[in-house]
Structure 1
């Protein structure tokens, strides 16, 4: 069920929006207008790109996140929105798991791709039903921060409990057998930083065991998301470091759903989405329908 926003909070958001739009006007004039929505970036044909076997890592993205490494675990710093979103990540995974008999009772193996400083990876490793978490990221400085933060919790020091790897998905060894795959493969706030999402996801999907779930969160490519993430969040309010978002890399929920369906995943209703929105003063809230124009989660099960 979508969260209900109190009337007083909604009025407050409207006031913020009006003030912000006035402040945004000079920035809006300076911005290049986004590409037309017809310029679809995520199609089945993308997977046939001649560079599909190469790394999906964008060096400019690595440099950007390396610069943010030292502040990753500051709950009031540049990664604040990631800290606030983390509870919804777990909520969404729980909903997906309920659709898989037995997966809600067994010890789970997680693969967290693009783990950053380990916000989700650490929290997943602490869950009582977690067997192990492998977390990978191509950004070395951020992973150093993740390793240092991990050492603060003795519960995470058990062999194999939480393993960080400075690696891309292409360099990660493939499972030797289907049963060696992961129960949950997470790709949170990563797809919008990848140049070619189809080849990237084809690599990711090989890591999911039969009956396991691929869960993702990303941003739809709409005029609304451009205004919210590029203009408001970065230029006006400054709650996200400038240069974090490239609107042309966003992927619409319909595009992603269609591509996954054509790959034969998510049969018999085993695909789930959840639209979410950041409400100033209240944090991230589920908002039904927002997957069509803003941030959203999508989960898909690999058939047995």
Structure 2
């Protein structure tokens, strides 16, 4: 299912240049050897992380066939649906939102081919929050480093969390190590991503992430590093937040 919502009046957190870059390669989202290969390789570790943290928070059995049943989940900045589809398979009712129409078109077609009923919408976090949408879980994965106003974006997302709800954020740290690996290495040397995919100045340090989440009214429960082994071509959780990391935050129930 696909619908289109208009953004609210006033400033938007959407960066039109970033939207244009991703829209230009939208058709390649589901090609594991294409321009989104890094996300396909990254997917197993972040899917495992999401499953474990959501199940732990809501008291679900991780080995159950549909452990997310009864949970409403927002995949903000869903792209082609690489996370939305497995979340639906785990039993969640999924709304996948992206500001790029071509991304939503790609995601909708692929979900239809898989027989998955996912509510895909070309819209923004602000528009969804203004419309009163509420979710048990919000996935904010590899999005925040592409928005125009980080704090406003986090506040819009936090406003959509139900009391006791869980938000998981994944992003890149603003370090020279991240610049060398995620920008120079991935975009200019190895050619894993189109040049210009990332803007290093928009990367977010863990401290900035904590401050933004707290300012949005959330409690930060965990910040975990994610490291890549180029020899095994495998990602793993680690104590090193120097490049990639994921944060888990909860909206107080009271």
**Which shifted more, 99-108 or 217-226?**
99-108
Runs of 4+ in 1 over 6 A off after TM superposition: none
Structure 1 residues 302 and 53: CA distance shift in structure 2, 3 A? farther
Deviation at 1:101, TM superposition (A): 4.5
Q: Relative to total residues, which structure has the larger helix share, 1 or 2? A: 1
* Counterpart for residue 69 of structure 1: 26
Q: How many residues align?
A: 239
Q: Relative to total residues, which structure has the larger strand share, 1 or 2? A: 2
Cα distance in 2, alignment partners of residues 262 and 65 from structure 1? 29
Give the unaligned 5+ runs of structure 2. 1-8, 62-66
- Residue of 206, 210, 228 corresponding to 2:163: 210
Aligned Cα root-mean-square deviation (Å): 2.0
Deviation at 1:277, TM superposition (A): 1.8
Deviations 1:91-141 (A, max 9, x none): 2223322442546665211100000011100111111x32x1000101111
Question: What secondary structure is seen at the aligned counterpart in 1 of 2:198?
Answer: coil
Asked if residue 237 in structure 1 is aligned to residue 186 in structure 2, the reply is no
Cα distance in 1, alignment partners of residues 99 and 196 from structure 2? 18
The answer to whether the 8 A contact 1:186-1:216 is kept is yes
Cα distance in 2, alignment partners of residues 281 and 69 from structure 1? 29
Question: What secondary structure is seen at the aligned counterpart in 2 of 1:212?
Answer: strand
* Counterpart for residue 251 of structure 1: 204
Deviations 1:180-203 (A, max 9, x none): 721110111101111210011111
Structure 1 residues 201 and 261: CA distance shift in structure 2, 3 A? closer
Deviations 1:185-232 (A, max 9, x none): 011110111121001111111111111101110000001000111111
Q: How does 1:125-136 map to 2 (within 5 A)?
A: 125-127=88-90, 129-130=91-92, 132-136=93-97
Question: What secondary structure is seen at the aligned counterpart in 2 of 1:151?
Answer: helix
Deviations 1:38-69 (A, max 9, x none): xxxxxxxxxxxxxx951111111111011111
Cα distance in 2, alignment partners of residues 175 and 99 from structure 1? 30
Cα distance in 1, alignment partners of residues 15 and 239 from structure 2? 31
Structure 1 residues 263 and 148: CA distance shift in structure 2, 3 A? closer
- Residue of 67, 77, 83 corresponding to 1:120: 83
* Counterpart for residue 121 of structure 2: 165
Q: Structure 1-normalised TM-score? A: 0.73
Deviation at 1:152, TM superposition (A): 1.0
Give the unaligned 5+ runs of structure 1. 1-51
Asked if residue 278 in structure 1 is aligned to residue 228 in structure 2, the reply is yes
Q: How does 1:1-304 map to 2 (within 5 A)?
A: 53-102=10-59, 107-127=70-90, 129-130=91-92, 132-154=93-115, 156=116, 161-174=117-130, 176=132, 181-266=134-219, 271-291=221-241, 293-304=242-253
Q: Structure 2-normalised TM-score? A: 0.87
The answer to whether the 8 A contact 1:265-1:301 is kept is yes
Cα distance in 1, alignment partners of residues 224 and 166 from structure 2? 15
Question: What secondary structure is seen at the aligned counterpart in 1 of 2:94?
Answer: strand
